[in-house]
Structures are given as C-alpha cells and as structure tokens.
C-alpha cells in the first residue's frame, strides 16, 4: 500500500498521512455498475467491482451522492442525508460496501452536500409552510414596486436568476437549480445538523467512511447583506474573481471546525474541498494545516495541452500548496467536465494526449484523482439525444450549456450485452456503438491498451517510493517538451505532434508510445510521455 511505502508516521506511530500521495478513483454511482437491472448503477454493483479497483491500484474510492434525493441534479439535491436512495440500495448495502472496501485495503470517501438541500428536504417543506426552518435558508422580500423582482442580481450557476418566488411573495436563494435551496450557514442549527451528519457516516458500520468530498466548499457563506454584483457577466467570472457568494473568508471557520471533528476520529479521515477559488493562493487557504486535507486542483484540469501552460500550472500549484505545507492534487476529468480525451482534440490524437497527460499527472508530486472510465480511454459522448439528457443546466440555459451527461454515460465492462456489462439490461443513458471495444474485458491483458497502461503506471508509482509525495525539479528540454526529475526517476512529455530528439535521460520504464533510443539519444514520439529510471 502507498501509505506503507511513503507515509510519515507521527509520534503515535499510527498516522501515515496517506492522502498526501493517494490515487483516488471517482465512482459516479449512477453509471458505474448496475447490479439489479434497473439501468442505474448501485452500491451492490460497486461492491462487486471493488476487486477491480484494488487491482487497478487505487488507494481510495470517492462515491458521488447516493442519498435520498429527487435527483433534480444527479443526487446533489439531498432530501435526507442519512438515507440511501432506493435507486442505489440501502444503508446495509453502504455498510457492506465499506467493510468490503476496507478488507481490500481501499479507503472510501463520500460526498457531503452542505451548500444546499433538496426542495423536498423536510426543512425546506417546513420553511415553505412558514415554520421555524425558514431561518435555515435565505428568504428575502423581492425588489421593484410589488416585490416582483429578485432581491439581488445574482445568477444561478446553471443559468437564470439565483432566486425563485414562493406563493407568499418572498424569494429564496438557490445558487444552483431551484430544487436546490441554499442553506444559511449563519444559522447554528444548520451547523449542528451537519456535524451530526458527518458523525453519522464516520460511525457507520463497516468501519465508517474515510472522509468527505465537500461539495461547493467555497460557497456556504455569502457576503453580509447579499450585495449586488453589478455586472451581467457574473456567471462567466466564476472561478476567476471573487463573487459575493463564493470564496468568502467565512467559509474557513466551518472547515476548521470540520477538521477538528475529523481529527477526533481514529484512522485519518480526510476532508477534500470542491472549491472554485480565483487563484492557486486563495485555494491554498482551504488546505492550511488546521483546515481540509486536500482541494481539487481545477487549474490543472482546465489547462490546455501546451507545455509552457502546463509548466506554469504545475509550478503555481506546487508553490501555493507548499506555502501551507499541503499536498497538491491533480485531476484531469470528473462528472462535471468534458472527458479529457475529447478536450484534448478527440479521436486518436485526443487519446494519445490523454494517455500522456495521465502519465504526467501520476509522475507529479501529490495526490491524483481518476474519473471512472478514464483508465479505459473513454471519450465524451457528444451525440446524446436531448430528450434523454438529465443535466439541469442543459434545461436552464436552452441547451447552450450544461452538457454534463456526456461524461456520465455508463461505463463498459464487457464486449457485448445490452449495456456492455454495466448491468443485466440497458443503462440509463445509451452507450455508443462499439463501446464494448473500450471495455475492461476487451482491454485486460492487451499490453498496448490504456487500461494496462494505467495498471502499470499505478503499480510503478507504488514501487518507486520517491514518487507521490516528494520533491521534483525541471530539466532542460526543447520547446514543447516537459522534462522533470524525481528521486531516481525522470518524466518526459512531448506535447508537440512531431517527434523530438533529446539525450536519453536513462532507462525507459513505461511510455505511452515507445521512444526510439539510439546510442546516447532518443527520439520521443509526438503527444507522448515516458517514465525513465536514472
Ligand atoms: C458540484 C458537483 O460536482 C456538481 O455535479 C453539482 O451540480 C454542483 N456541485 C451543485 O451541487
């Protein structure tokens, strides 16, 4: 296990800081494996496939929300935080999954969604009925002569106003869909309830969960008085500038409290921020020593396939996290973005670059997140019929935005079958013809396959104790090439489409396209990455 190789024990001898270099595999529950044939992935399906994840070489699994929910936003609209939605199974299934994962040496992180509840949550029902739970949300009178205009100019991330009017004439805030009313984190009952929810999952049977991925960790606190932004360009600015509802200093106090709570449990349970901060420096604030353990590095995910741009992101990310002593994280895809094969150009070029980017990511210091199916080299599905789409932002933006269904298509496990092994019947979204060629079964044992590349890379990463958490330094390289050294190791990435010649840095260990070594020099194919032993 990685933690045995590279973790640093503390005075008690028990803490291993496993998260600093962990490879964490994201399971989008609805689309991973369907055990009961209803077309929707479920907890039992995941449990059956845990050996696959252990054998792939993941250290931990992150499960997207599987709680009771009307599914207005793929489960990020939670109606009951302590209940498993019948679509996905039962609480007993969750306990069984946790026990099975732990027996295989896999940790399990689950999502917590604290910025908003579902509009079907008992609190919001009470709020609409004028009950005391109204104080736990943001209700305001409207503006304009008859209060018919929203209280301020904030726009929903999914498009349209961030406010919806209710029958008594007042408005409530929802930074996402109207079915996701924002909670008021100034309210002490909200804080107490989420502490209790965290404890519930930490103490569940099967050893409890090993941590939480905190949804919208940057949005729970809003600027006092909910001030106008004053510009219609607001939504475009998310992640590039501070807005009165994102990245407010007040969120840090909540995260510090959660860190204390996590630390009060044995077993190094972690908190991971899904925080869209305007800069690497602002993001680093979420991972100060007394705050969360990790934050997703979306700057890396957003970076184009371009050597200078990638180098800048790597440098900025490492510098920012080093300033607070935290590990950097790396991520290329998740359930909210176009899969990186497609982002990097699609087709064979996109796949070559995606494979190279994966080796680059896994050679960098820190922890890496994999999104289900990237180890199969899956592209985005771009031709889903509109009537099958479920992404709420698709509907709120007249189809111009929010095409997140294309990365959520059920993944293929077998060459054939009604859903290529995803389940006994068809999946909730149609898979492209020929999807079976990308399946786990088709790629297993094929030495040139993307799946075997990932398996080998993860196995090597474990074996080479200096990878993961530790130092790196850049080496001289021709334009378009990135080269860096880790202890006993060099990684070269050619981002150009043409081959490049350079002095051979050492003995090749693993590559996405074989380098051509002749004497002291090597020709590195275009769009490729090679790991070298030195
Ligand atoms: C981030 C989640 O990843 C996304 O899927 C969701 O729509 C929003 N947060 C709102 O909860």
Four-point Cα dihedral 61, 62, 67, 72, nearest 10: -140
pLDDT digits (tens, 9 = 90+) for 305-357: 999 999 999 999 999 999 999 999 999 999 999 999 999 999 999 999 999 99
Whether the predicted pLDDT of 279 surpasses 90: no
Closest CA to 292 of 182, 213, 186, 371: 213
Ligand 1 binding pocket, CB closer than 6 Å: 73-74, 76, 113, 176, 215-216, 274, 335-336
Tell me what pLDDT residue 42 has: 98
The token pair at 131 is: 């009950």
**d(Cα 145, Cα 212) in Å, to the nearest integer?**
45
Mutate to test the pocket of ligand 1, among 63, 65, 67, 76 (most ligand atoms within 8 A of CB): 76
Mutate to test the pocket of ligand 1, among 28, 66, 73, 77 (most ligand atoms within 8 A of CB): 73
Closest CA to 40 of 324, 511, 319, 410: 410
Closest CA to 255 of 287, 278, 223: 287
Cβ within 8 Å of residue 243, ≥6 positions away = 229, 234, 237
Share of the chain above pLDDT 90, in %: 86
Query: Out of 21, 274, 469, 527, which one is annotated catalytic?
Result: 274
Instruction: Give the HSE-up count for residue 348: Cα atoms under 13 Å, Cβ half-sphere.
Output: 3
Residue matched to tokens 């969960």: 209
Atom from ligand 1 closest to the CA of residue 77:
11
* Rounded distance from Cα 380 to ligand 1 centre (Å): 18
Buried b (16+ CB within 10 A) or exposed e, 428-455: bbbbbeebbebbbebbeeeeebbbebbb
Atom from ligand 1 closest to the CA of residue 404:
5
Atom from ligand 1 closest to the CA of residue 158:
7
Mutate to test the pocket of ligand 1, among 156, 215, 391 (most ligand atoms within 8 A of CB): 215
State the Rg of the chain over Cα.
Answer: 23
Degrees to nearest 5, angle at CA 295 with 292 and 300: 165
Exposed/middle/buried for 196, CB within 10 Å: 0-12, 13-18, 19+?
exposed
**Of all protein residues, whose CA lies closest to atom 10 belonging to ligand 1?**
76
Asked whether the beta carbons of 184 and 74 are under 8 A apart, the reply is no
**d(Cα 196, Cα 132) in Å, to the nearest integer?**
19
pLDDT digits (tens, 9 = 90+) for 463-494: 987 788 888 999 999 999 999 999 999 999 99
* Rounded distance from Cα 393 to ligand 1 centre (Å): 11
Whether the predicted pLDDT of 398 surpasses 90: no
* Rounded distance from Cα 76 to ligand 1 centre (Å): 6
Atom from ligand 1 closest to the CA of residue 76:
11
Task: Report CA torsion sign: 466, 469, 475, 478.
Answer: positive
Q: For the chain, what is the mean pLDDT? A: 93
Mutate to test the pocket of ligand 1, among 239, 336, 389, 401 (most ligand atoms within 8 A of CB): 336
* Rounded distance from Cα 487 to ligand 1 centre (Å): 38
Q: What average pLDDT does this structure show over 165-172?
A: 98
Residue matched to tokens 């050597």: 307
215 is catalytic: yes
**d(Cα 419, Cα 274) in Å, to the nearest integer?**
31
**Of all protein residues, whose CA lies closest to atom 2 belonging to ligand 1?**
215
Tell me what pLDDT residue 239 has: 54
**Of all protein residues, whose CA lies closest to atom 1 belonging to ligand 1?**
215
Whether the predicted pLDDT of 237 surpasses 70: no
**d(Cα 236, Cα 247) in Å, to the nearest integer?**
16
**Of all protein residues, whose CA lies closest to atom 6 belonging to ligand 1?**
76
Residue matched to tokens 């009952």: 189
* Rounded distance from Cα 215 to ligand 1 centre (Å): 7
Which residues are paired to 501 by β-bridges?
523
Q: What average pLDDT does this structure show over 385-406?
A: 74
The token pair at 147 is: 């209060």
**Of all protein residues, whose CA lies closest to atom 5 belonging to ligand 1?**
336
Give residue 398's Cα distance to chain centre. Answer: 26
**Of all protein residues, whose CA lies closest to atom 4 belonging to ligand 1?**
336
User: Residue 399's pLDDT band (boundaries 50, 70, 90)?
Assistant: low
Q: What average pLDDT does this structure show over 448-458?
A: 98
Query: Out of 47, 93, 215, 380, which one is annotated catalytic?
Result: 215
* Rounded distance from Cα 246 to ligand 1 centre (Å): 14
**d(Cα 184, Cα 226) in Å, to the nearest integer?**
12
**Of all protein residues, whose CA lies closest to atom 11 belonging to ligand 1?**
76
Please give the backbone phi and psi of residue 198, each rounded to the nearest 5 degrees, phi first: -60, -45
Closest CA to 176 of 389, 393, 332: 393
Closest CA to 339 of 313, 314, 376: 376
Query: What stretches of 166-322 adopt beta strand conformation (E)?
Result: 171-173, 211-214, 270-273, 294-295
Four-point Cα dihedral 456, 452, 505, 481, nearest 10: -130
Four-point Cα dihedral 390, 396, 397, 398, nearest 10: 80
**d(Cα 340, Cα 12) in Å, to the nearest integer?**
42
* Rounded distance from Cα 503 to ligand 1 centre (Å): 46
* Rounded distance from Cα 291 to ligand 1 centre (Å): 21
Pairing of strands 367-371, 23-27: parallel
Atom from ligand 1 closest to the CA of residue 113:
11
Exposed/middle/buried for 110, CB within 10 Å: 0-12, 13-18, 19+?
buried
Task: Report CA torsion sign: 391, 394, 397, 398.
Answer: negative
User: Residue 8's pLDDT band (boundaries 50, 70, 90)?
Assistant: very low
> Rounded to the nearest 10 degrees, what angle do helices 91-103 and 43-56 cross at?
10
Q: How far is CA 469 from CA 7, 362, 486, in A?
A: 9, 11, 10
pLDDT digits (tens, 9 = 90+) for 55-94: 999 999 999 999 999 999 999 999 999 999 999 999 999 9
User: Residue 385's pLDDT band (boundaries 50, 70, 90)?
Assistant: confident
The token pair at 443 is: 């790629």
* Rounded distance from Cα 216 to ligand 1 centre (Å): 7
Exposed/middle/buried for 113, CB within 10 Å: 0-12, 13-18, 19+?
buried
* Identity of the highest mean pLDDT range in 233-237, 388-392, 450-454: 450-454
Q: Please name the residue ranges forming H helices in 323-432.
A: 340-343, 347-363, 392-396
Atom from ligand 1 closest to the CA of residue 116:
11
* Rounded distance from Cα 335 to ligand 1 centre (Å): 9
Asked whether the beta carbons of 370 and 58 are under 8 A apart, the reply is yes
Whether the predicted pLDDT of 14 surpasses 90: no
User: Residue 16's pLDDT band (boundaries 50, 70, 90)?
Assistant: confident
Mutate to test the pocket of ligand 1, among 178, 216, 391, 404 (most ligand atoms within 8 A of CB): 216
Atom from ligand 1 closest to the CA of residue 216:
9
Cα-Cα end-to-end distance for the chain: 24
Degrees to nearest 5, angle at CA 332 with 452 and 372: 55
């Amino acid at each position: 296990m990685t933690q045995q190789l590279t973790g640093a024990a503390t005075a008690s001898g028990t803490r291993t800081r496993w998260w600093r270099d962990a490879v964490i595999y994201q399971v989008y529950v609805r689309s991973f494996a369907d055990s009961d044939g209803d077309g929707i992935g479920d907890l039992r399906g995941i449990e059956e496939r845990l050996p696959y994840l252990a054998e792939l070489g993941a250290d931990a699994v992150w499960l997207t929300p599987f709680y009771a929910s009307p599914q207005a936003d793929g489960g990020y609209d939670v109606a009951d935080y302590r209940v498993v939605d019948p679509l996905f199974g039962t609480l007993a299934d969750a306990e069984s999954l946790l026990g099975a994962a732990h027996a295989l040496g896999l940790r399990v992180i689950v999502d917590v969604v604290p910025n908003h509840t579902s509009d079907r949550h008992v609190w919001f029902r009470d709020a609409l009925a004028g009950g005391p739970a109204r104080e736990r949300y943001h209700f305001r009178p409207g503006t304009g002569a008859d209060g018919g205009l929203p209280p301020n100019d904030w726009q929903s991330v999914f498009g349209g106003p961030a406010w919806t009017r209710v029958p008594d004439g007042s408005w409530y805030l929802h930074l996402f869909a109207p079915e996701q009313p924002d909670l008021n984190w100034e309210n002490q009952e909200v804080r107490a309830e989420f502490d209790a929810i965290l404890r519930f999952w930490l103490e569940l049977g099967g050893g409890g969960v090993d941590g939480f991925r905190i949804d919208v960790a940057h949005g729970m606190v809003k600027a006092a008085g909910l001030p106008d932004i004053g510009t219609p360009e607001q939504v475009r600015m998310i992640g590039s500038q501070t807005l009165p509802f994102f990245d407010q200093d007040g969120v840090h106090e909540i995260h510090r409290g959660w860190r204390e709570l996590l630390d009060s449990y044995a077993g190094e349970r972690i908190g991971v921020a899904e925080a869209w901060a305007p800069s690497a420096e602002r993001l680093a604030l979420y991972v100060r020593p007394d705050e969360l353990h990790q934050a997703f590095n979306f700057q890396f995910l957003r970076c184009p396939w371009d050597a200078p741009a990638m180098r800048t992101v790597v440098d900025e990310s490492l510098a920012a996290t080093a300033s607070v002593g935290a590990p950097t994280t790396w991520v290329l895809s998740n359930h909210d973005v176009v899969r990186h094969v497609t982002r990097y150009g699609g087709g064979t070029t996109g796949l070559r670059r995606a494979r190279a980017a994966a080796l680059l990511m896994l050679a960098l210091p820190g922890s890496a997140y994999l999104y289900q199916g990237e180890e199969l080299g899956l592209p985005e599905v771009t031709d889903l019929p509109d009537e099958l789409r479920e992404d709420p932002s698709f509907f709120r933006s007249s189809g111009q935005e929010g095409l997140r269904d294309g990365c959520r298509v059920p993944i293929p496990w077998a060459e054939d079958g009604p859903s290529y092994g995803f389940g006994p019947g068809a999946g909730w979204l149609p898979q492209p013809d020929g999807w079976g060629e990308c399946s786990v079964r088709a790629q297993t044992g094929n030495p040139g396959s993307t799946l075997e590349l990932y398996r080998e890379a993860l196995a090597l990463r474990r074996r080479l104790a200096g990878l993961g958490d530790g130092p790196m330094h850049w080496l001289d390289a021709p334009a378009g090439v990135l080269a860096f050294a880790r202890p006993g190791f060099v990684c070269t990435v050619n981002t150009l489409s043409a081959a490049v010649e350079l002095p051979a840095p050492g003995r090749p260990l693993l590559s996405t396209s074989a380098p051509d070594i002749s004497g002291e020099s090597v020709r590195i194919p275009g769009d490729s990455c090679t790991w070298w032993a030195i």
